[in-house]
């Protein structure tokens, strides 16, 4: 049974109590801004890894629509009526009709900080598409349905298609264009990581507004990724990458430099900022090293969001 079929089975069996769906967490291992597009977006080249450690959504058939936000970061998500989850629900219903997408009670448990560069809101919207399809017994894995969902995802924002792609293949991706031209990287490894955030939100638009150079050189046209690369090889590869949004984000939030220094002090082999910030992350050779680093950072900064996780990917050669 495929994961989509299993989810539909769960949705049917638990239609009264409802069912939960895990959204991914997104890390930009590299983010290169190549130019400004005619549609107002920027041309991007970004290497993305995901972890099954994002927010969690609960779906239940209901007599009328409802939406609630709970969790540690519920208070920082803005107005519920502006949430991307509701836009995803409404757009899917407009496409398929009210009979195909009947009233639903959705509860969003926010475990990730908002405006943090981790794709939280975009991943929540992607999970909403998948959850509502399961609830309505729509086969999201069928190519025609997948294409329509990807089109809807692109209407909601640049990060939503890549987050939706994670539900179809849990691997790293190379994304180009506005972030919607996706190439899966099935041999890219699972990497232990620690993600930290000091609680300061950085709006993507404000970071792009501070960007002084928007026509940077590409690096990943032919990524030198081979199946026999070990952890040290990947660290050397990633050191050749950039996050072109780090300088403008640093200008807005100088504490980012301290956060990267803290990750280095914890033993990270390589560290960077994800997306437009303000979350930073470090990579470690083993999950035990990542967990020890997370414990070290929590002692140093007890008020920080700190998460030790492992990205989705292939096993690393020893």
Q: How far is CA 158 from CA 44, 136, 153, 195, in A?
A: 10, 26, 8, 22
pLDDT at 1: 56
CA distance 46 to 59: 32
List the catalytic residue out of 26, 110, 124, 244. 26
Domains of the chain: 3-185 (3.30.230.10), 192-310 (3.30.70.890)
Residue 129 CB burial class (10 angstroms; 0-12, 13-18, ≥19): buried
pLDDT digits (tens, 9 = 90+) for 107-132: 999 999 999 999 999 999 999 999 99
The contacts found for 260-263 with CB under 8 angstroms, 24 or more apart, are 262/196, 262/297, 262/300, 262/301, 263/194, 263/196, 263/293, 263/297
Which pair of tokens denotes residue 225?
């990724």
pLDDT at 222: 56
CA distance 213 to 207: 12
pLDDT at 316: 84
List the catalytic residue out of 124, 159, 180, 244. 159
CA distance 304 to 65: 35
Catalytic residue list contains 215 = no
Distance of CA 1 to the CA centre of its chain: 26
Catalytic residue list contains 26 = yes
Q: With a cut of 50, which residues of the chain have pLDDT below it? A: none
């Amino acid at each position: 049974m495929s994961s989509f079929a299993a989810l539909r089975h769960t949705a049917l069996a638990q239609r009264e109590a409802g069912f939960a769906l895990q959204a991914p967490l997104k890390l930009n291992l590299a983010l290169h801004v190549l130019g400004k597009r005619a549609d107002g977006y920027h041309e991007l080249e970004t290497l993305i890894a995901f972890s099954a450690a994002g927010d969690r959504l609960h779906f239940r058939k209901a007599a009328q629509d409802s939406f609630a936000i709970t969790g540690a970061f519920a208070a920082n998500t803005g107005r519920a009526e502006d949430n991307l989850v509701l836009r995803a629900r409404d757009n899917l219903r407009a496409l398929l009709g009210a009979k195909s997408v009947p009233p639903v009670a959705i509860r969003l448990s926010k475990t990730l900080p908002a405006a943090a560069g981790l794709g939280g809101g975009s991943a929540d919207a992607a999970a909403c598409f998948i959850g509502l399809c399961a609830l309505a017994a729509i086969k999201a894995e069928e190519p025609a349905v997948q294409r329509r969902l990807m089109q809807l995802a692109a209407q909601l924002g640049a990060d939503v298609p890549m987050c939706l792609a994670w539900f179809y293949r849990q691997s790293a991706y190379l994304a180009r264009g506005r972030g919607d031209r996706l190439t899966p990287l099935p041999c890219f490894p699972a990497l232990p990581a620690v993600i930290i955030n000091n609680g300061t939100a950085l709006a993507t638009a404000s970071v792009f507004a501070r960007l002084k150079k928007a026509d940077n050189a590409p690096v990943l046209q032919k990524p030198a990724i081979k199946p026999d690369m070990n952890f040290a090889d990947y660290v050397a590869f990633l050191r050749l990458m950039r996050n072109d949004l780090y300088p403008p984000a640093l200008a807005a939030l100088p504490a980012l430099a301290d956060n990267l220094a803290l990750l280095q002090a914890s033993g990270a082999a390589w560290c960077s900022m994800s997306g437009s910030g303000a979350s930073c992350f470090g990579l470690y050779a083993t999950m035990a090293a990542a967990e020890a680093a997370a414990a070290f950072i929590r002692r140093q900064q007890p008020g920080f969001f700190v998460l030790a996780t492992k990205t989705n990917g292939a096993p690393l050669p020893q």
